[in-house]
Amino acid sequence: MLVAELVELLEQRYPPSWAESWDRVGLTLGEPTAEVTRVLLAVDCDPRTVAEAVEAGAEFMFTHHPLLLRGVSSVAPTTYKGRIVHQLIRAGIALHTAHTNGDVADPGVSDALAARLGLLDVRPLVPIADTGRGHGRIGRLPAPMALADLAKLVSSSVGGVRVAGPADTTIRTVAVSGGAGDAFLADAARAGVDAYLTSDLRHHPAHEHLAAGGPVLLDVSHWASERPWLDDVAAFLRRETGLQTIVSDVDTSPWTFLEDGNS
């Protein structure tokens, strides 16, 4: 199919109008009349995932995070983002992004995260009125479990996790939010859930949340919280188009290892 046809399909599922006003989504670069047979999906467009797309022979990259979220005055190959733009153009690879419009979609980023935990009766944490869409998700575990066991489940199904709360706390209901989740701490508390799983939690907001009696917290990397969604998008593309899809497992988190001082 053509780039323009694939973009139309993606924008039917993740309309750009659903994105936040500050966001930059949609087709970033690529010739609309170029043909696509293979798509690489990644959380970030960076030199490693671009190299993966080139090696795989992909003609189209779908990413969650925008490459050009903030304005640039140059895409010269002497700049970091300029080099990526030139690499993509030279390789004939189009780049398309669904970011906050993918966050609020139904199903969207947080649905995929909730599915990794097996949550049931899933609904938006912060609903958008009269749409069925919203930010984050709430659901119940198939059976109650201790926080320590939930942390093990998160570690095995999503990624390494930091935990704030007593290990023996019984968890029945969980709120999740892919990506940075500070903004929804109060919503998780109001929802009355037992635990909130997200990423990029900061010291002071988390401290104040817990001091106010909010649900226990589980914090994974930003990349890990959003990577599950790519499998859903890839399955959608295969089902609707028959295109070949490659989901990148290149971990684009800036953090590379943890040194706890005990080894």
The fold adopted by the segment(s) 105-224 is 3.40.1390
Q: State yes or no: 64 annotated in a binding site.
A: yes
Contact 43, 81 (CB under 8 A): no
Instruction: Report the pLDDT averaged over residues 241-259.
Output: 93
- pLDDT at 225 > cutoff 90: yes
Q: State yes or no: 203 annotated in a binding site.
A: no
pLDDT score at 26: 98
- Under the banding of pLDDT at 50, 70 and 90, the label for residue 263 is low
Q: By mean pLDDT, which of 149-153, 164-168, 185-189, 256-260 is the weakest? A: 256-260
Burial of 263 (0-12, 13-18, 19+ CB in 10 A): exposed
Break the chain into its structural domains and give their ranges.
3-102, 105-224
- pLDDT at 54 > cutoff 60: yes
pLDDT score at 261: 76
In CATH, the number for domain 3-102 is 3.40.1390.30
Residue 202 has phi, psi (to 5 degrees) of -95, 155
In this chain, the answer to whether the domains covering 3-102 and 105-224 adopt an identical fold is yes
User: Across the chain, what does the average pLDDT equal?
Assistant: 96
Q: State yes or no: 135 annotated in a binding site.
A: no
Q: What is the DSSP string of 81-142?
A: HHHHHHHHHHHT-EEEE-SHHHHSSSS-HHHHHHHHTT-EEEEEEEEPTTTS-EEEEEEEEE
| pTM of the complete model | 0.95
- pLDDT at 51 > cutoff 90: yes
Which residues on adjacent β-strands are paired with residue 139?
A: 174
